[in-house]
Amino acid sequence: AQSVTQLGSHVSVSEGALVLLRCNYSSSVPPYLFWYVQYPNQGLQLLLKYTTGATLVKGINGFEAEFKKSETSFHLTKPSAHMSDAAEYFCAVSEYGSNDYKLSFGAGTTVTVRA
Amino acid sequence: SQTIHQWPATLVQPVGSPLSLECTVEGTSNPNLYWYRQAAGRGLQLLFYSVGIGQISSEVPQNLSASRPQDRQFILSSKKLLLSDSGFYLCAWSAGGDTQYFGPGTRLTVL
């Protein structure tokens, strides 16, 4: 069974500063990994995903994440934060079960951006 | 392109009343469908998933139930709501692959 740990429930950054959100996972098989973003009172939007191939994955809104198997990590970064990046971010790992893929989510990290 | 709808967007219900939340997907056939609940400070919890009409799998025993009367329609129900049923309910779909796409959600408050 897989699990996801997001380090830090709240992250505050200045506008223009680096955004770094940490995610570690445990999985018994090679994982599929995801980052989702949730704005207040909205659903989850897919930012990026890693399945196979290149370990550095680029997503929407200037975000990227790197899969590091040796560290079982999938940290999310953005070089320069924008006010519109204020949201909650969820890391998730997918594993195939009896008849479908199942997503396990981390607890989420809320990002605030200071002007 | 595919679109997922949920309604209502918000709902306030008294304890003991019934519940029916609806989710529909457009632009795809035979999607896998999912219901999640997001309670304050508790992350996302998978409640039910369905790989086809009439096929429902429950992840967490509770007073909620789900049905899939049509290929692209997924309904979450309860006969008697509890205070603990309050939360943000999210429907999601996938094309049978690893990626799930989420709807806008329904905010349920049970008083």
For residue B53, give every residue at least 6 positions away whose Cβ sits within 8 Å of its Cβ, in sequence order, or none: B68, B69, B70, B71
Task: Supply A115's token pair.
Answer: 């002007």
Residues in chain B with CB shorter than 8 Å from the CB of A101 are: 94, 97-98, 100
Residue A51: Cβ-neighbour burial (10 angstroms; 0-12, 13-18, 19+): middle
Whole-number pLDDT of residue A30: 75
d(CA B40, CA A89): 15
Whole-number pLDDT of residue A1: 65
Residue B28 contacts A where some CB pair is shorter than 8 Å: no
Residue A107 contacts B where some CB pair is shorter than 8 Å: yes
Tens of pLDDT, residues B24-83: 999 999 999 999 999 877 789 999 999 999 999 988 868 999 999 999 999 999 999 999
Q: Which of A49, A90, A94 sits opposite B44 (nearest CB)?
A: A90
Quick one: pLDDT band at residue B100, thresholds 50, 70, 90?
A: very high
Tens of pLDDT, residues A39-92: 988 999 999 999 988 899 999 999 999 999 999 999 999 999 999 999 999 999
Residue B107 contacts A where some CB pair is shorter than 8 Å: yes
Q: Which of A42, A100, A105 sits opposite B51 (nearest CB)?
A: A100
